[in-house]
Amino acid sequence: MHEREADAQHLRCIYQLIDLQVLNRAVDALPALIESAELMGFCGLNVTHPCKQAVLPLLTELSEEARAIGAVNTVRLAGGRRTGYNTDASGFAESFKRGLAGAAIDRVVQIGAGGAGAATAYALLTLGAGQVTIYDAQPTRAAALVENLRARFAADRLAVAADLGEAIRAARGIVHATPTGTRELPGMPFSADFLRSELWVADIVYFPLRTELLMQAAERGCRILDGGGMAVFQAAAAFEIFTGHEADRERMLQDFRGTPND
Protein backbone atom coordinates (compact mmCIF):
# COMPACT_ATOMS: atom_id res chain seq x y z
CA MET A 1 0.00 0.00 0.00
CA HIS A 2 2.80 2.41 0.88
CA GLU A 3 4.68 1.84 -2.37
CA ARG A 4 1.58 2.17 -4.55
CA GLU A 5 0.48 5.39 -2.81
CA ALA A 6 4.01 6.77 -3.21
CA ASP A 7 3.97 5.87 -6.91
CA ALA A 8 0.66 7.71 -7.32
CA GLN A 9 2.27 10.79 -5.79
CA HIS A 10 5.46 10.44 -7.88
CA LEU A 11 7.51 9.62 -4.80
CA ARG A 12 10.15 6.92 -4.46
CA CYS A 13 9.34 4.48 -1.66
CA ILE A 14 10.79 1.09 -0.75
CA TYR A 15 8.77 -0.87 1.81
CA GLN A 16 10.62 -3.96 3.01
CA LEU A 17 8.89 -6.82 4.83
CA ILE A 18 10.80 -8.18 7.83
CA ASP A 19 8.96 -11.27 9.09
CA LEU A 20 10.23 -12.78 12.35
CA GLN A 21 8.57 -16.10 11.52
CA VAL A 22 10.29 -16.31 8.16
CA LEU A 23 13.60 -15.36 9.81
CA ASN A 24 12.93 -17.90 12.58
CA ARG A 25 13.64 -15.21 15.16
CA ALA A 26 11.84 -14.19 18.34
CA VAL A 27 10.84 -10.79 19.72
CA ASP A 28 14.29 -10.48 21.31
CA ALA A 29 15.62 -9.76 17.79
CA LEU A 30 13.91 -6.33 17.86
CA PRO A 31 16.90 -4.29 19.10
CA ALA A 32 19.12 -5.59 16.31
CA LEU A 33 16.41 -5.13 13.69
CA ILE A 34 15.79 -1.50 14.64
CA GLU A 35 19.50 -0.73 14.73
CA SER A 36 19.92 -2.36 11.30
CA ALA A 37 17.07 -0.26 9.90
CA GLU A 38 18.76 2.88 11.20
CA LEU A 39 22.11 1.89 9.71
CA MET A 40 20.50 1.22 6.33
CA GLY A 41 18.84 4.63 6.33
CA PHE A 42 15.19 3.62 6.64
CA CYS A 43 12.97 6.53 7.67
CA GLY A 44 10.66 4.36 9.71
CA LEU A 45 9.15 1.02 10.63
CA ASN A 46 5.70 -0.44 11.00
CA VAL A 47 5.41 -2.84 13.91
CA THR A 48 2.87 -5.63 14.17
CA HIS A 49 1.99 -8.62 16.37
CA PRO A 50 3.68 -9.64 18.63
CA CYS A 51 5.98 -6.60 18.88
CA LYS A 52 3.66 -3.62 19.44
CA GLN A 53 4.31 -3.49 23.17
CA ALA A 54 7.75 -5.11 23.23
CA VAL A 55 9.11 -2.25 21.11
CA LEU A 56 8.29 0.44 23.70
CA PRO A 57 11.53 0.28 25.76
CA LEU A 58 13.58 0.60 22.57
CA LEU A 59 12.14 3.99 21.59
CA THR A 60 13.36 7.50 22.35
CA GLU A 61 9.91 9.05 22.72
CA LEU A 62 6.22 8.34 22.22
CA SER A 63 3.38 10.37 20.80
CA GLU A 64 0.69 11.27 23.32
CA GLU A 65 -1.71 8.73 21.81
CA ALA A 66 0.87 5.92 21.78
CA ARG A 67 1.67 6.62 25.43
CA ALA A 68 -2.01 6.51 26.36
CA ILE A 69 -2.58 3.27 24.45
CA GLY A 70 0.61 1.61 25.60
CA ALA A 71 1.38 0.16 22.17
CA VAL A 72 3.14 1.31 19.01
CA ASN A 73 2.63 0.27 15.40
CA THR A 74 4.64 3.03 13.67
CA VAL A 75 8.19 4.19 14.42
CA ARG A 76 9.75 7.27 12.83
CA LEU A 77 13.55 7.15 12.56
CA ALA A 78 15.08 10.59 12.19
CA GLY A 79 18.01 12.52 13.61
CA GLY A 80 19.11 9.61 15.77
CA ARG A 81 15.72 9.49 17.49
CA ARG A 82 13.10 6.77 17.47
CA THR A 83 9.59 8.17 17.86
CA GLY A 84 6.71 5.76 18.40
CA TYR A 85 3.17 6.40 17.18
CA ASN A 86 -0.06 4.45 17.19
CA THR A 87 -2.12 4.79 14.02
CA ASP A 88 -4.17 1.64 14.73
CA ALA A 89 -6.58 3.53 16.97
CA SER A 90 -7.42 6.25 14.47
CA GLY A 91 -7.48 3.62 11.70
CA PHE A 92 -10.04 1.52 13.54
CA ALA A 93 -12.11 4.57 14.51
CA GLU A 94 -12.32 5.77 10.90
CA SER A 95 -13.21 2.30 9.66
CA PHE A 96 -15.89 1.92 12.34
CA LYS A 97 -17.47 5.28 11.55
CA ARG A 98 -17.66 4.38 7.86
CA GLY A 99 -18.64 0.73 8.12
CA LEU A 100 -20.85 0.62 11.21
CA ALA A 101 -22.38 4.09 11.23
CA GLY A 102 -25.14 4.38 13.79
CA ALA A 103 -24.24 1.16 15.59
CA ALA A 104 -25.05 1.17 19.29
CA ILE A 105 -21.88 1.39 21.37
CA ASP A 106 -23.29 1.70 24.86
CA ARG A 107 -22.15 -1.85 25.73
CA VAL A 108 -19.27 -3.38 23.78
CA VAL A 109 -17.33 -6.58 24.40
CA GLN A 110 -13.78 -6.79 23.10
CA ILE A 111 -11.85 -10.04 22.78
CA GLY A 112 -8.11 -9.45 22.98
CA ALA A 113 -5.97 -7.17 25.14
CA GLY A 114 -2.69 -7.17 23.23
CA GLY A 115 -1.20 -4.33 21.21
CA ALA A 116 -4.02 -4.20 18.66
CA GLY A 117 -6.64 -4.62 21.37
CA ALA A 118 -5.20 -1.70 23.32
CA ALA A 119 -5.69 0.48 20.23
CA THR A 120 -9.23 -0.67 19.43
CA ALA A 121 -10.35 -0.28 23.05
CA TYR A 122 -8.92 3.25 23.10
CA ALA A 123 -10.69 3.99 19.81
CA LEU A 124 -14.02 2.71 21.10
CA LEU A 125 -13.77 4.93 24.15
CA THR A 126 -12.86 7.99 22.10
CA LEU A 127 -15.86 7.23 19.87
CA GLY A 128 -18.05 7.47 22.96
CA ALA A 129 -18.58 3.84 23.99
CA GLY A 130 -20.51 3.69 27.26
CA GLN A 131 -18.80 0.59 28.55
CA VAL A 132 -16.08 -1.59 27.03
CA THR A 133 -15.76 -5.01 28.63
CA ILE A 134 -12.48 -6.72 27.77
CA TYR A 135 -11.83 -10.45 27.65
CA ASP A 136 -8.45 -12.08 27.11
CA ALA A 137 -7.21 -15.64 27.41
CA GLN A 138 -4.74 -14.16 29.90
CA PRO A 139 -6.97 -12.39 32.47
CA THR A 140 -4.02 -10.46 33.89
CA ARG A 141 -3.43 -8.88 30.48
CA ALA A 142 -7.07 -7.75 30.27
CA ALA A 143 -6.81 -6.33 33.78
CA ALA A 144 -3.62 -4.46 32.92
CA LEU A 145 -5.21 -2.89 29.83
CA VAL A 146 -8.27 -1.80 31.80
CA GLU A 147 -6.07 -0.27 34.49
CA ASN A 148 -4.02 1.61 31.89
CA LEU A 149 -7.07 3.01 30.11
CA ARG A 150 -8.70 4.06 33.37
CA ALA A 151 -5.93 6.62 33.67
CA ARG A 152 -7.53 8.39 30.67
CA PHE A 153 -11.22 7.45 30.85
CA ALA A 154 -13.83 7.11 33.58
CA ALA A 155 -13.38 3.87 35.52
CA ASP A 156 -17.00 2.76 35.06
CA ARG A 157 -16.56 2.75 31.27
CA LEU A 158 -14.18 -0.22 31.46
CA ALA A 159 -14.50 -3.72 32.86
CA VAL A 160 -12.83 -7.11 32.68
CA ALA A 161 -15.00 -10.01 31.51
CA ALA A 162 -14.78 -13.04 33.78
CA ASP A 163 -17.24 -14.99 31.61
CA LEU A 164 -17.19 -14.23 27.88
CA GLY A 165 -20.58 -15.76 27.12
CA GLU A 166 -22.26 -13.72 29.84
CA ALA A 167 -20.54 -10.55 28.65
CA ILE A 168 -21.67 -11.10 25.05
CA ARG A 169 -25.25 -11.72 26.14
CA ALA A 170 -25.30 -8.26 27.73
CA ALA A 171 -23.53 -6.52 24.81
CA ARG A 172 -24.68 -4.60 21.75
CA GLY A 173 -21.52 -5.27 19.77
CA ILE A 174 -18.29 -7.29 19.64
CA VAL A 175 -14.78 -6.30 18.62
CA HIS A 176 -12.40 -9.17 17.91
CA ALA A 177 -8.75 -8.14 18.33
CA THR A 178 -6.69 -11.35 18.40
CA PRO A 179 -4.86 -13.26 15.61
CA THR A 180 -7.49 -16.03 15.62
CA GLY A 181 -9.03 -16.27 12.17
CA THR A 182 -5.86 -15.41 10.28
CA ARG A 183 -4.49 -17.83 7.71
CA GLU A 184 -1.93 -19.00 10.28
CA LEU A 185 -4.50 -19.40 13.09
CA PRO A 186 -7.83 -20.26 11.43
CA GLY A 187 -11.01 -20.78 13.41
CA MET A 188 -13.33 -18.96 15.76
CA PRO A 189 -12.32 -16.94 18.85
CA PHE A 190 -15.48 -18.14 20.63
CA SER A 191 -18.50 -20.34 20.02
CA ALA A 192 -20.81 -19.21 17.22
CA ASP A 193 -23.68 -20.02 19.57
CA PHE A 194 -22.94 -16.73 21.35
CA LEU A 195 -23.92 -14.75 18.23
CA ARG A 196 -27.37 -13.26 17.70
CA SER A 197 -28.80 -11.00 15.01
CA GLU A 198 -28.98 -7.93 17.25
CA LEU A 199 -25.20 -7.80 17.60
CA TRP A 200 -22.73 -6.03 15.36
CA VAL A 201 -19.33 -7.71 14.97
CA ALA A 202 -16.04 -6.05 14.01
CA ASP A 203 -12.91 -8.07 13.26
CA ILE A 204 -9.42 -6.58 12.94
CA VAL A 205 -8.11 -9.55 10.91
CA TYR A 206 -7.66 -8.70 7.23
CA PHE A 207 -5.90 -11.79 5.83
CA PRO A 208 -8.44 -13.13 5.02
CA LEU A 209 -11.01 -10.34 5.01
CA ARG A 210 -13.89 -12.79 5.39
CA THR A 211 -12.96 -14.60 8.59
CA GLU A 212 -14.89 -17.52 10.03
CA LEU A 213 -16.20 -15.18 12.72
CA LEU A 214 -17.59 -12.72 10.19
CA MET A 215 -19.11 -15.46 8.05
CA GLN A 216 -20.87 -16.97 11.07
CA ALA A 217 -22.03 -13.52 12.20
CA ALA A 218 -23.37 -12.63 8.75
CA GLU A 219 -25.29 -15.91 8.58
CA ARG A 220 -27.03 -14.93 11.80
CA GLY A 221 -27.99 -11.49 10.51
CA CYS A 222 -25.37 -9.42 12.37
CA ARG A 223 -23.92 -6.22 10.94
CA ILE A 224 -20.24 -6.92 10.30
CA LEU A 225 -17.04 -4.95 9.76
CA ASP A 226 -13.91 -6.56 8.36
CA GLY A 227 -10.35 -5.51 9.15
CA GLY A 228 -9.61 -4.01 5.75
CA GLY A 229 -10.60 -0.46 6.63
CA MET A 230 -8.45 -0.40 9.74
CA ALA A 231 -5.52 -1.81 7.74
CA VAL A 232 -5.83 0.91 5.10
CA PHE A 233 -6.44 3.88 7.38
CA GLN A 234 -3.64 3.00 9.79
CA ALA A 235 -1.33 2.64 6.79
CA ALA A 236 -2.41 6.03 5.42
CA ALA A 237 -1.58 7.72 8.70
CA ALA A 238 1.77 5.91 8.88
CA PHE A 239 2.53 6.95 5.29
CA GLU A 240 2.07 10.58 6.33
CA ILE A 241 4.42 10.13 9.29
CA PHE A 242 7.08 8.51 7.11
CA THR A 243 6.89 10.84 4.12
CA GLY A 244 5.39 14.14 5.29
CA HIS A 245 2.93 13.87 2.38
CA GLU A 246 -0.83 13.58 2.79
CA ALA A 247 -2.19 10.17 1.80
CA ASP A 248 -5.22 9.81 -0.44
CA ARG A 249 -7.33 7.52 1.72
CA GLU A 250 -9.99 6.89 -0.89
CA ARG A 251 -7.36 5.86 -3.43
CA MET A 252 -5.64 3.59 -0.90
CA LEU A 253 -8.94 2.01 0.10
CA GLN A 254 -9.92 1.38 -3.51
CA ASP A 255 -6.48 -0.01 -4.22
CA PHE A 256 -6.66 -2.36 -1.21
CA ARG A 257 -10.16 -3.59 -2.01
CA GLY A 258 -9.11 -4.27 -5.60
CA THR A 259 -6.17 -6.43 -4.54
CA PRO A 260 -6.73 -10.23 -4.32
CA ASN A 261 -6.86 -10.94 -0.59
CA ASP A 262 -8.61 -14.20 0.20
> Which residues are identified as catalytic?
52
Q: What span, in angstroms and rounded, lies between the C-alpha atoms of 238 and 255?
A: 17
Name the nearest CA neighbour of 84 among 227, 236, 205, 238.
Answer: 238
In degrees and rounded to multiples of 5, residue 74 shows phi and psi of: -140, 130
Whether residue 37 contacts residue 45, with contact meaning beta carbons closer than 8 Å, is answered with yes
| Burial (0-12, 13-18, 19+ Cβ within 10 Å), 121 | buried
Name the nearest CA neighbour of 87 among 124, 57, 119, 113.
Answer: 119
Q: Is the dihedral of CA 96, 97, 101, 106 positive or negative?
A: positive
Whether residue 76 contacts residue 223, with contact meaning beta carbons closer than 8 Å, is answered with no
Q: What span, in angstroms and rounded, lies between the C-alpha atoms of 163 and 148?
A: 21
| CA R_g for the chain | 18
Alpha helices in the chain (DSSP H): 2-8, 20-23, 30-39, 64-69, 88-99, 115-126, 139-149, 164-169, 212-219, 228-243, 249-257
Amino acid identity, position 164: L
Question: Kind of pairing, strands 107-111 and 173-176?
Answer: parallel
